[in-house]
Structures are given as structure tokens and as C-alpha cells.
């Protein structure tokens, strides 16, 4: 195993210590595993809290800051954070305007955020929740009942975070988050399996010369395995799978997301193919984002996420954001 780590047991704590050193605009509680906006709580503003297993960086800690999340709760690698983390985060960022939990649809995350919501409400914190379930590849998986939450998490956190930054009330922020999720679909492809620090080997067997279509962000197998395809062929397959389910009637936000080990040279080339397919299908791209945002450790591969945009979604997408991983307009 070749990894830039000390020992598997301290991987998450070491990463949080490094995040704290690199980003003084954040408050990073290494002991309790909570990442906060340094200016939290922000008076009169709804606070967005999210989290999940580590290994998907920059999701979620890299999206903490003005215009996006107020707090993130990192769990162990590919393991949900615990309710105590979420309650601690909610209490730290609540200004009295309420807290929105953004939850990816994985069984552990769903159960722990549900429990955390009950505990936080017992402490007098108003909680709303939105479940992200954008993956069209499979209906159920090893980790979920229903569709998995993947790339659309970024869209939900950015757009709902912008609404919160503007001072929208909790009910409105929740409604916008739900609308973004309902209008978003994703499909992922793996060219290699990922390696977790604890296991020290691939999470699944993918023979040379083959790829996995429809994978999740924990290295779950997808809907089918095929011999290696060209970038254009993969784009045809992935975009068509998304459009078959989404059927947008207008322009879209497009995210070409790397899974962790695919260089930008390849991702930009793949985005050109995604743009080609969308143009051929008569779907205009209003905004595009390319890079590693919702990853799976060292997996080679990518995912495509499309969100059917409207005027409000585009305005909130363009609104200023200042986080370690996403910055514009400030």
C-alpha cells in the first residue's frame, strides 16, 4: 500500500489538523470532528450542516464558508459521522433562524441525521432536512434503500447555501434545496477501484481493460461492467442515462466530477464529450463545473451531474461563495 499517511487509524484526524493549518478562516475541532465557519453563528441566517464519511474530499469540509455550509461533520473513511457530531455542529452554528441538514441517501447517514435532528430539537434548535438521492444508476445498493446521493450534493449545498446567505427563512431554504435535488440526476463511471487506508487494497475487483458503469462514491459496484470505452462512448452512455430520467425542458447546470485519481486533462476532455452529447440532444448548458469535488479516495473515473436550471437556481448558483474548494464572486 502506497499512501501519504502515518497510520490508518489517524488518517481523518491528521487531515483535519492539516485543514486547520491551511484554512484559518475555518474553526476545525479535531477532537470532536466538526468543521465550522469561523464567523458562525451568523445572526439572522439559516445555517446549513452536512457531513458524511471521509474519503470524498473536498466534500463536505471543503464546502464550509460564506455562501455554502455553516458546518460539516466528517466521519471515519466511508463511515457516517455520529449524531453527537451533528448536534454539536447544529448548536455551534444556530443563530435562532434554524438549521438545515443536507443528507446524502446512505443508510448510516440517514439514521444518524434523523437521530441528531431529534436530539437537536430537544435542545430547542429548529431543524429541517433534505435528502439528496440523485444517482440514476441503481435503485438500491449495498449502502442504500433507494437512490444514492452523489454529485447533486454540491448543487444543493451551493444553491441552498446562497439562499441562506441572502437571509431566506428556513422553510424557503429547505424548499429550494428540495427543488434542486428533484431537478438533479447523476451517473458515475469507475476505471479503477479505490483503496481504503484500513483495508490497504481495492474495494472491488476490476480487471485490466474493463470499466464499471454506474458506481457509487464508496466503491460500490455499478449496473454493469464492460470492456474499456473511449471518452466519447462513456459520455454517450452516462449522459443518456441521466437524460432518460431527468428529461430537462430547458438549460442545465453541468458538473463533470472526478472521482479522485483522474487528472484534469482527462476531465476537461470528457467534459468536451459531455457538451457534445448535450448539444446533440438539444440541451443547452447554462453553467459548467469541472474538477474533483465529490470523490472516492483514489478511484479513477468520473461522474456527470445535471440540474435543470431556472432563473432563481442560476442566480443562486452565481451568488458569491468563499470556501476552501469553491470560490467566486467575492
- Considering the candidates 23, 56, 60, 271, report the single residue annotated as catalytic: 56
The x, y and z cell numbers of residue 73, run together, are 461533520
Q: SS3 for 276?
A: helix
Contact between 104 and 87 under an 8 Å Cβ cutoff? The reply is no
Question: Whole-angstrom Cα distance, residue 281 to residue 239?
Answer: 10
Is 60 part of the annotated catalytic residue set? no
Length of the chain counted residue by residue? 330
Handedness of CA 166, 167, 171, 173 (dihedral sign): positive
Catalytic residue among 23, 32, 60, 218: 218
Task: Name the E strands within the chain.
Answer: 26-29, 34-37, 47-54, 71-77, 99-104, 127-132, 184-190, 210-213, 224-227, 252-258, 285-291, 301-308, 321-322, 327-328
Question: Annotated catalytic, 23?
Answer: no
Structure-block grid coordinates of residue 273: 464529450
Task: Give 156's contacts (C-beta < 8 A, 6+ positions apart).
Answer: 102, 130, 132, 177, 180, 181, 184
Catalytic residues: 56, 218
Amino acid at each position: 500500500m502506497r499512501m501519504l499517511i502515518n497510520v490508518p487509524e489517524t488518517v481523518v484526524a491528521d487531515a483535519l489538523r492539516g485543514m486547520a493549518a491551511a484554512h484559518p478562516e475555518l474553526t476545525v475541532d479535531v477532537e470532536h470532528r466538526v468543521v465550522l465557519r469561523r464567523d458562525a453563528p451568523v445572526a439572522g441566517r439559516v445555517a446549513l450542516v452536512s457531513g458524511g464519511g471521509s474519503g470524498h474530499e473536498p466534500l463536505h469540509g471543503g464546502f464550509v464558508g460564506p455562501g455554502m455550509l455553516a458546518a460539516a461533520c466528517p466521519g471515519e473513511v466511508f463511515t457516517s459521522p455520529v449524531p453527537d457530531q451533528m448536534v454539536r455542529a447544529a448548536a455551534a452554528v444556530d443563530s435562532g433562524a434554524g438549521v438545515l441538514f443536507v443528507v446524502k441517501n446512505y443508510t448510516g447517514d440517514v439514521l444518524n441525521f434523523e437521530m441528531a435532528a431529534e436530539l437537536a430539537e430537544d435542545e430547542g434548535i429548529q431543524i429541517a432536512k433534505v435528502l439528496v438521492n440523485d444517482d440514476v444508476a441503481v435503485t438500491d445498493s449495498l449502502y442504500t434503500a433507494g437512490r444514492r446521493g452523489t454529485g447533486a450534493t454540491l448543487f444543493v449545498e451551493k444553491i441552498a447555501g446562497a439562499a441562506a446567505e441572502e437571509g431566506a427563512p428556513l422553510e424557503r431554504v429547505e424548499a429550494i434545496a428540495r427543488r434542486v435535488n428533484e431537478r438533479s440526476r447523476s451517473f458515475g463511471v469507475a476505471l479503477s477501484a479505490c483503496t481504503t487506508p484500513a483495508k490497504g487494497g481495492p474495494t472491488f475487483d476490476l480487471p485490466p481493460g474493463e470499466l464499471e458503469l454506474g458506481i457509487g462514491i464508496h466503491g460500490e459496484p455499478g449496473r454493469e461492467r464492460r470492456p474499456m470505452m473511449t471518452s466519447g462512448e462513456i459520455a454517450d452512455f452516462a449522459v443518456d442515462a441521466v437524460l432518460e430520467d431527468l428529461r430537462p425542458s430547458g438549460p442545465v447546470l453541468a458538473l463533470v466530477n472526478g472521482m479522485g485519481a483522474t487528472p484534469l486533462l482527462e476531465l476537461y476532455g470528457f467534459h468536451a464529450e459531455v457538451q457534445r452529447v448535450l448539444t446533440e440532444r438539444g440541451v443547452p448548458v447554462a453553467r459548467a463545473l469541472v474538477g474533483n469535488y465529490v470523490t472516492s479516495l483514489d478511484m479513477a473515473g468520473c461522474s456527470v451531474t445535471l440540474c435543470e436550471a431556472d432563473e432563481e437556481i442560476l442566480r443562486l448558483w452565481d451568488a458569491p461563495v468563499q470556501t476552501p474548494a469553491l470560490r467566486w464572486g467575492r
